[in-house]
Amino acid sequence: MNYVWCIPIVAGISFFLTSRLRNYALSRSLMDIPNARSSHSTPTPRGGGVAIVVAFLFASGLLFYFDEIPLANFLGMTVAATAIAVIGFMDDHGHIAARWRLLGHFTAAVWLLGWMGGFPPIALFGVHVDMGWAGHVLAALYLVWLLNLYNFMDGIDGIASVEAMCACLGACLLYWLAGLNNLIGGPLLLAASVAGFLYWNFPPAKIFMGDAGSGFLGIVLGGLSLQGAWVSAPMLWAWLILLGVFIVDATFTLFRRLFRGEKVHEAHRSHAYQFASRRFSRHLPVTIGVGMINLFWLLPIAVCVTRFGLDGASGVILAYVPLIFLAIKFRAGNEEDSAV
């Protein structure tokens, strides 16, 4: 673990660059202006997620230099994630039609999977299943959905940063308990990259992440989960559990909007976390609540899956059922003029 000394450096790069990006956005009036579909009420600089991108790409270079990650994973992850960040950056500063964004997303996902070896065999109710080409298609859909849902869920102060840090540090703990120390570097340095940004994004946020940062986080987290699954099959289930808050809220909301015939690519504020932030009239309780769910509910279940023999699929079901009830309680996917 030659990279441990790099953790404060990576966090410092993210912290300093976020402050520079904030000053730049203020000087150029690159502001997120509140509207009817916003979850905030004050004009706020945007685009701070670029700091996460730069810090983690620097960290990935260090991991490769210290032989902590193989060349295939390095090229697959960094090229795909950079492409997603560039697409998000362009969309932040203009507009890219949804079909072209989606094409770019699938291209990046296929690139990552091609270098990483595709979708690994999974452990399903005690049976190891190799899905072949169907698994590769499923993996591409998984990566594209994860990067898009991360964008959808980045709607209130600090929530996307807290989710990423909880998932990454939780994965580090799981890898350490399982003796997979060679896998710790990626999530640990991603958490450090996010930590520097979170100082500026914690409620009340002084700068927003933007699509460049949220999409980048989504595909990197997806790539890390597949990387872990290639080494230990239960780790895929563990990552799905650790990311459960975002996966359940975004997916539940998507399907409810689809059933109503809404255009799901259009902006809205009907996720459970958005209804919750309006109910509490603040972002902080919701963001802290997400962290508490991750720490005290999802992480222990993930530990049971990876260390105590709990079946992975059963663990996901156990983890998600209360999250689904929370999504229903906070009206995820309801029409936005519904009572809160």
Which tens digit of pLDDT belongs to each residue from 282-301?
999 999 999 999 999 999 99
The answer to whether residues 190 and 223 touch, using CB atoms and an 8 Å cutoff, is no
Alpha-carbon dihedral angle through residues 231, 233, 236, 239, given to the nearest 10 degrees: -70
Q: Tell the residue number behind the tokens 């991108």, with chain if given.
A: 53
34 Cα distance to chain centroid: 24
pLDDT for 1 equals: 65
Residue 336 located in a structural domain: no
Q: Which residues contact 325 (CB under 8 A, 6 or more apart)?
A: none
Question: What are the start-end ranges of the E strands in the chain?
Answer: 31-32, 44-45, 122-124, 127-129
Label residue 340 by pLDDT band (50, 70, 90): very low
Share of the chain above pLDDT 70, in %: 97
**Least confident piece of the model among 21-30, 55-64, 100-109, 175-184:** 21-30
Residue 142 located in a structural domain: yes
Q: Which residues contact 255 (CB under 8 A, 6 or more apart)?
A: 333
The answer to whether residues 39 and 155 touch, using CB atoms and an 8 Å cutoff, is yes
pTM: 0.95
Residue 339 has pLDDT above 50, yes or no: no
The answer to whether residues 166 and 242 touch, using CB atoms and an 8 Å cutoff, is yes
Residue 283 located in a structural domain: yes
Residue 287 located in a structural domain: yes
pLDDT for 337 equals: 57
Nearest to 166 by CA among 77, 258, 297, 259: 297
pLDDT for 285 equals: 97
As given in the structure block, the two tokens for residue 147 are 């990067």
Cα distance between residue 215 and residue 154, in whole Å: 10
Residue 338 located in a structural domain: no
Residue 147 located in a structural domain: yes
**DSSP code string of 125-150:** TTEEE--HHHHHHHHHHHHHHHHHHH
Sign of the Cα pseudo-torsion (22, 24, 29, 30, in order): negative
Residue 171 has pLDDT above 70, yes or no: yes
Domain that holds residue 187: 4-31+40-329
Which tens digit of pLDDT belongs to each residue from 233-260?
999 999 999 999 999 999 999 999 999 8
Task: Report angle CA 248, 253, 257 to the nearest 5 degrees.
Answer: 155
What's the number of domains the chain is made of? Answer: 1
Residue 273 located in a structural domain: yes
Q: Give me the mean pLDDT over the 88-116 stretch.
A: 92
Residue 23 located in a structural domain: yes
Which tens digit of pLDDT belongs to each residue from 177-189?
999 999 999 999 9
